[in-house]
A and B are shown apart, each in its own frame.
Chain A
Amino acid sequence: MSVALAAMLAKIGLWVAVLLAVTPVMAWVERRGSAMIQDRLGPNRVGPLGLLQALADAVKFLFKEDLTPSAADKPLYYLAPALAVVPALTTFVVLPFGPEIEVGGETVKLLVADVESGVLLFLALASLGVYTLVLAGYSSNNKYSLLGSVRAAAQMISYELALTLSVVAALVPVGSFRLDEVVLYQVEGTWLGFLPHWNVFPQFLGFLIFLVAAFAETNRLPFDLPEAESELVAGYHTEYSSMKFALFFMGEYMAMATLSALAATLFFGGWHFPGIDYTGHWAIVALKGFSVLFAKVAAFMLLFVWVRWTFPRFRFDQLLRLGWKVLLPLAILNLVVIAALTIGGVL
């Protein structure tokens, strides 16, 4: 087996393992985290510190009665949870988690698919998520689900504009769709002589827009309107149970991980951290790169949890107002300013 093939399989294996682990780990973090915020204990019975709770939940999901509503549009009803997981898993193919390394005399890039389209592919796959919600709500033929799904559609497309524009702005100084080049741009040099050369410093506004839009895209509080359990019962997945429901659950956390990783890569230097030496044995380098990226993603995920348990929820019209009347003009402004700064040689 050639080194390239082995490396590819190893990288795929790594990401799949990490992503499948995201849901159980995050479910635990979320529950213990919310318990900490809310002055209670959280799950602490299954395994040490309740760590195996997610495993017990998975088993429970497997044994649960699987209901298909008689009025449902069956093919779409089955397709929706599948769409929740597959694209969210696949987005990670273009994400670099370390510098180029030398293995057995061959250069290996620490990303699964080294493709020209990079970010575009990432965004394309991530935006497939809206189909999950729309199809789930539509096919259930339930009024609450339908309301949830039209909300979801309107919300996700509204914030997608701001999200995309902030990503475009981040790409302007780099000049490439490849995320590994986006990282390399941020590795070299410093801002003002002491700040790492991360995009977040010149593009703080862009980062904020991206962050807010990311919350909306992942349907997390304060933007959890498609689900809004106190209003729409469970929103688009009201009629889902058993493993199909679990897939939505997984999809949500994977989408969070996806956008956290994109935020870390576009604005916080991806696998790079100042002061860490990325030379030496390839395995150590890969491990360092992965760990740094992982830490950054974890920090974002914790932010997601923290925000969820702090804020109330928007109302639909307020959500659209924020998306269309605040974030969109800000995103356009941000793009213009960044382009002007770049042309002026500042960036």
Chain B
Amino acid sequence: MPTATIPAPPLLDSLPEGSVEVVEGLDQPTWIVRRDALAQVARQLRDDPETQFDLLLDLCGVDYPDRDERFEAVYHLYSLPRAARLRLKVPVLEDDPVLPSLIDVWTAADWFEREAWDMFGLRFEGHPNLRRILTHEAFQGHPLRKDYDPARRWILTEDKIYKPNPQPTGSESVDDMFERMTINIGPSHPAMHGTFRVVATLDGEVIVASEVEIGYLHRCFEKMAETHTWQQVIPYTDRLNYCSSFINNVAYCRTVEKLMGIEAPPRAVWAQMILSEFSRIMDHCVCNGSTLVDTGALTNFWYMFQPREEIYGLLEACCGARLTVSACRIGGLLEDLPPDFEARCRHLLETVPEFIDDVDKVVTKNRIWLDRSVGVAAISAEEAVDHGWTGPCLRASGVDYDVRRAYPYDLYGEVDFEVPVFQGGDVFDRYRMRMEEIHQSLSIIRQLLDRGMPDGPYIVDDPHVALPPKEDAYNQMEAMIYHFKLIMDGIQVPPGELYHMVEGANGELGFYVISDGSGKPYRIKVRPPCFPIMASFSHLMQGGTISDAIATLGGLNIIAGELER
């Protein structure tokens, strides 16, 4: 694992004493920054050649009611050139929860700051559009504050609702305005896969300005997680990116395991990698299938969904569920693998490529598809990084960043795979990227199968973490007590905080968890890969046509469950 070398604060000599305090985090260096110094620190961290933190991964609030400075804004930064991570914490007072907006430093801060405002009431000074983002305008209070009662109900009416009316900037004649039409695309629209809404102002077919409204599928996952035990959170993670729910399971369980200092047994890790890669294939199939169906190539949708169907069969054999699998447990797997696991995987390795190749033959060189996708909604590497993109969409713009390669977790350091990178950053390259990644995932699975299934348990042999076998729970006193304790009190995670990430199907899927040792998560923040991507949709669509917008949206792989949590 590349070591993170962050130069010490001399960089910030010009700042007043005590502006930055360096602490060692469990996982990555953490700086506690005073809010007055934040803007300057952030700018220097981005621009200084020694640091170059060009990617703002995540921004969230945390509420500590017992502290003097009640709220804390937590920034997770990543430096692509230095492969280094850094966490910034900015404490603010309850009476004065104001921070400078970092939207000028990282454009990605836009929606993250809106979310922190919505959830915690942190005010970001200088943010041009600090509105609620996930909750309704008529909602009162800030739901993720510890003193917010989840049982409260609000009457949400349409009176106070914000009515977007995007207009292009610059001077225009009255005639121009009159020819424009503002149209709602979504939430109930055939191409809005999930429920969100794009309000676009059109000149003919051309989008001259647009605004994205989300929040239609917000379930406040993070609030629910705080009232459940650590294991009970697992089913909620299924519903983040529901196209590849298994990867979410793995990401969450790994994070908690790391915090507890335990490791899943090799058999579980091996199976989790295989199933994660299969889930990635499914996710890419859904994404490319829906991109194609949005451009009118309906047949490919079926070709793409067939492998997904077959992979669901494998997941079903492993855990009984298909879409929302909840197949992982902290410390391993839900149950042992079925006896024909390897045979099923081998069978899939043969059948899946057939369907993918069919689509490849029908579409990849089709002139109409090329015309529709090459150069459409192109984004440069710098812009993509500035907007906080990760995953296939970022790699399609030419940035070689894959968590599996940069921070090889599980066995990714031991298998041989390529991280494909394309330069165009357009719809076509995003499509090609996913097709290529499907082949890479298949290769990873093949190598893992060739290594052979490791023997041993499928979950850690620790009665404080893993449930005892049913047989023992019924017949042995000790096992029954452990069973009772685990069910009633849950796993006891030691106090601490940690950010851990895996390569999700559409980017870096990170979990930032804080435990206070109470048996329930104190705070869980998901870093949803599609959130910053969706935030830049208006920017991408500027000057495109309505058809481009639809074609682009499919290829960005926006999953509403993950976007809005």
Q: Is B550 an interface residue (CB 8 A)?
A: yes
Q: Indicate if B369 sits at the interface (CB-CB under 8 A).
A: yes
Chain B residues near A34 (CB-CB < 8 A): 298-299
Inter-chain contact B181/A143, CB cutoff 8 Å: yes
CB distance from A304 to the nearest CB of B (A): 15
The minimal Cβ–Cβ distance linking B200 to chain A, given in whole angstroms, is 10
- The residues of A that contact B545 with a CB separation of less than 8 Å are 315-317
Bound Cα distance A72, B253 (Å): 56
Known: A228-B547, A230-B191, A231-B547. A312 touches B181 (CB 8 A): no
Please give me the residue from chain A that is nearest to B188 by CB atom. A233
Is there a chain A Cβ closer than 8 Å to B341's Cβ? no
Q: A228-B547, A229-B190 are in contact. Are A312 and B292 (CB under 8 A)?
A: yes
Query: Do the beta carbons of B550 and A222 come within 8 Å of each other?
Result: no
In the complex, are the beta carbons of A144 and B183 less than 8 A apart?
yes
CA distance in complex: A317, B293 (Å): 20
* Given A228-B296, A228-B547: A222 in contact with B368 (beta carbons within 8 A): yes
Complex Cα distance A144/B292, Å? 21
Stretch at the interface among A35-43, A240-248, A327-335: A35-43
For residue B191, which residues in chain A have a CB less than 8 angstroms away from its CB?
A: 230-231
Separation in Å of the A121 CB from the closest CB of chain B? 34
Q: Inside 8 A of B369's CB, which chain A residues have their CB?
A: 312
The CA-CA distance from A37 to B358 in the complex, in Å, is 12
Q: Chain B residues near A317 (CB, 8 Å)?
A: 205, 545
Interface string of A197-238 (1 = CB under 8 A from B): 000000000000000000000000110100011111100000
**Chain A, interface size: which category?**
20 to 34
Question: Is the pair A233, B189 in contact by a Cβ cutoff of 8 Å?
Answer: yes
Q: How far is the CB of A99 from chain B (nearest CB, A)?
A: 41
Q: Is the interface of B mostly helix, strand, loop or mixed?
A: helix
Q: Across the interface, which residues of A come within 8 angstroms of B189, CB to CB? A: 233
Q: Is the CB of B372 within 8 A of A314?
A: yes
User: In the complex, which residues of chain B have a beta carbon less than 8 angstroms from the beta carbon of A230?
Assistant: 190-191, 293-296, 550
Q: In the bound complex, what is the Cα–Cα distance between A230 and B306 (angstroms)?
A: 21
A235 to B77, CA, bound (A): 45
Contacts of B363 in A (CB 8 A): 312
A143 B371 Cβ-Cβ under 8 A: no
Tell me if A311 counts as interface (CB < 8 A to partner B): yes
Q: Is A313 an interface residue (CB 8 A)?
A: yes
Name the contact of B371 in the complex, choosing from A228, A229, A314 (C-beta under 8 A).
Answer: A314
How many angstroms from the CA of A82 to the CA of B191 in the assembled complex?
Answer: 30
Contacts of A222 in B (CB 8 A): 296, 368
Name A225's closest neighbour in chain B (CB-CB). Answer: B547
Q: A222-B368, A229-B190 are in contact. Are A40 and B550 (CB under 8 A)?
A: no
Question: Smallest Cβ distance from B514 to chain A, in angstroms?
Answer: 42
Whether A107 is near chain B, meaning CB under 8 Å from some CB there, is no
Bound form: Cα–Cα A221–B147 in Å: 56
| Complexed CA–CA distance, A151 and B372 (Å) | 17
Known A144-B183, A230-B190, A311-B366; judge A318-B299 contact (CB<8 A).
no
Shortest C-beta distance, A225 to chain B (Å), equals: 8
Which residue in chain A gives the minimum CB-CB distance to B182? A143
Say if the beta carbon of B546 comes within 8 Å of chain A. Answer: yes
How far apart are A241's CB and chain B's nearest CB, in angstroms? Answer: 16
* B15 on the A face (CB < 8 A): no
Q: Does A279 contact B (CB under 8 A)?
A: no
A234 (CB) vs chain B CBs: closest residue:
B190
- Residue B63 at the A interface, CB < 8 A? no
Complex Cα spacing A82 to B250, Å: 58
Interface membership of chain B positions 410-450, coded 1 if the CB is closer than 8 angstroms to chain A and 0 otherwise? 00000000000000000000000000000000000000000
Q: Tell me which residues across on chain B come within 8 A of A313, comparing CB atoms.
A: 295-297, 368, 372, 547
Distance in angstroms between the alpha carbons of A229 and B298 in the assembled complex: 11
Flag whether A68 is at the interface (Cβ < 8 A). no
Asked whether, in the complex, the Cβ of A312 is within 8 Å of the Cβ of B205, the reply is no
Q: How far is the CA of A39 from the CA of B306 in the complex (A)?
A: 9
**Does B548 interact with chain A (Cβ within 8 Å)?**
yes
A311/B181 in contact, CB under 8 A:
no
**CB of A309 within 8 Å of the partner chain:** yes
* Closest A residue to B362 using CB positions: A310
Contacting residues of chain A (301-327) with chain B, CB-CB under 8 angstroms = 309-318
Interface digits, B168-193 against A, CB 8 Å rule (1 contact, 0 not)?
00000000000001010000011100
Closest chain A CB from B372 CB (angstroms): 6
Inter-chain contacts of A315 with B (CB < 8 A): 371-372, 545, 547-548
* Residue interface mask B58-101, A partner, CB < 8 A = 1: 00000000000000000000000000000000000000000000
Residue B409 lies at the interface, judged by CB distance under 8 Å to chain A: no
Q: In the assembled complex, how far is the CB of residue A40 from the closest CB belonging to chain B, in whole angstroms? A: 6
Which residue of chain A has the shortest Cβ distance to B376 in the bound complex? A315
A-B contact pairs, 24 of them (CB 8 A): A34-B299, A143-B183, A147-B202, A147-B546, A222-B296, A224-B296, A228-B296, A230-B191, A231-B191, A231-B294, A231-B546, A231-B547, A232-B546, A233-B190, A309-B299, A311-B296, A311-B368, A312-B295, A313-B295, A314-B371, A316-B545, A316-B547, A317-B545, A318-B371
Q: Which 9 A-B pairs have the closest CB atoms?
A: A313-B296, A312-B297, A38-B302, A312-B295, A230-B191, A230-B294, A315-B547, A312-B296, A143-B183
Contacts A143-B183, A230-B190 supplied; 13 other A-B pairs, CB < 8 Å: A38-B302, A144-B183, A224-B296, A231-B547, A233-B189, A310-B297, A312-B292, A312-B366, A312-B368, A312-B369, A313-B547, A314-B368, A314-B372
Residues of B within 8 A of A (CB): 181, 183, 189-191, 202, 205, 292-299, 302-303, 306, 362-363, 366, 368-369, 371-372, 545-548, 550
